[in-house]
Amino acid sequence: MPTLHDDGPFRDELFDLPCLLLSCGDSQAAIAHQGAQVLSWRDARGRERLYLSPQTGGAPRGASIGVTSLAPAIRGGIPVCFPQFSGRGSLPKHGFARAVLWTADKVSGDTFPAQSSTASFTLRDDACTRAIWPESFSAQLSVLLAPERLSVTLTLTNHGDSPWSFSGALHTYLRVRDIMQTALAGLQDTRYQDATAANVEMLERAPLLTVSGELDRVYLSPPKSLQLLEDGQASLRIEQTGFEDTVVWNPGPALAQNFKDFPDEDWRHMLCVEAACAGRPVVIQPGASWIGSQVLTML
């Protein structure tokens, strides 16, 4: 049964979670051993751009993760949801990729002055994953850090003899100063499924999407570039490729109180804007690969 050891590239910690630190100039990212989950992104100005709950779950160093003991989910950062998004299927919610250990393949940085640094991680099917989902696969996550940009790319490959399908997401938790002064631009005239209303399909009419309570929507075939606005000013550009949908989620004040791994008031300081394939599954043929990415750029 794999164990979170003290050695190897995941020698640092954030909230007791073993992680690898990636630096580029004054910008830094932390990526967990569990799920290859990006936990933190501090931009070149020193501002934390990702939300991570101080009461988060996850497996601490020394914990064993195996067939009957998937790690508790880490609440925040950029979880990899695969091979299932949310509860849209018979597998565990959001699949298993976020709850198992990934292998660090490569960490590299440009020579001074640094233009970017990269790290890549791999997950392959094993007894643990096949007990949940029988398919033969590999998943590679590549994280590129630049002074004003964070790029995360997921590559999925079918190593089996027959097609298989998946749904999934890069479940990105963005940290915001005040959700009541935050808006998301670019989704007007996009159809969405509203998970708070039995996934009824509706049309987004607002030029700026704002949050005042629980919000849980899958935007279908949205524009590939959105802008996060804080206090009326654009603070982040959010781009995606490969992923066909965008999920926007905030639990709001009532639902937040039901989460043991989430402070009651922290709904005011986060907004999930997720690059997703949620509206319909993606089919990958034997020997073929699928690639999807999300890029966050400071404005």
Band (pLDDT 50/70/90 cuts) for residue 231 is very high
Which long-range contacts link 30-34 to residues 24+ away (Cβ below 8 Å)? 31/119, 31/121, 31/143, 32/58, 32/74, 32/77, 33/4, 33/101, 33/102, 33/104, 34/4, 34/58, 34/59, 34/65, 34/71, 34/74, 34/98, 34/99, 34/100, 34/101, 34/102
Q: What is the pLDDT of residue 8?
A: 76
Question: Considering the chain, what is the average pLDDT of its residues?
Answer: 93
Q: What is the pLDDT of residue 2?
A: 45
- Bond before 54 cis per omega within 30 degrees: no
Q: What is the pLDDT of residue 251?
A: 98
pLDDT tens digits, one per residue of 111-130: 555 689 999 999 999 998 99
More confident residue, 244 or 15: 244
Distance CA 102, CA 88 (A): 24
pLDDT tens digits, one per residue of 15-34: 999 999 999 989 999 999 99
Which residues pair with residue 42 across a beta bridge?
Answer: 28, 48
Q: What is the pLDDT of residue 250?
A: 98
Q: What is the 8-class DSSP label of residue 13?
A: E
Q: What is the pLDDT of residue 114?
A: 64
Domain chopping of the chain, boundaries = 12-298
pLDDT tens digits, one per residue of 125-161: 999 899 999 999 999 999 999 989 999 999 999 999 9
How many H helices and E strands in the chain?
2, 21
Distance CA 229, CA 75 (A): 23
Asked whether 291 and 154 are in contact (CB, 8 A), the reply is yes
Give the right CATH number for 12-298 from 3.20.20.70, 2.60.40.10, 2.70.98.10, 3.40.605.10: 2.70.98.10
Asked whether 137 and 164 are in contact (CB, 8 A), the reply is yes
pLDDT tens digits, one per residue of 152-209: 999 999 999 999 999 999 999 999 999 999 999 999 999 999 999 999 999 999 999 9
Distance CA 221, CA 238 (A): 15
Nearest to 82, CA basis, from 146, 18, 139, 11: 139
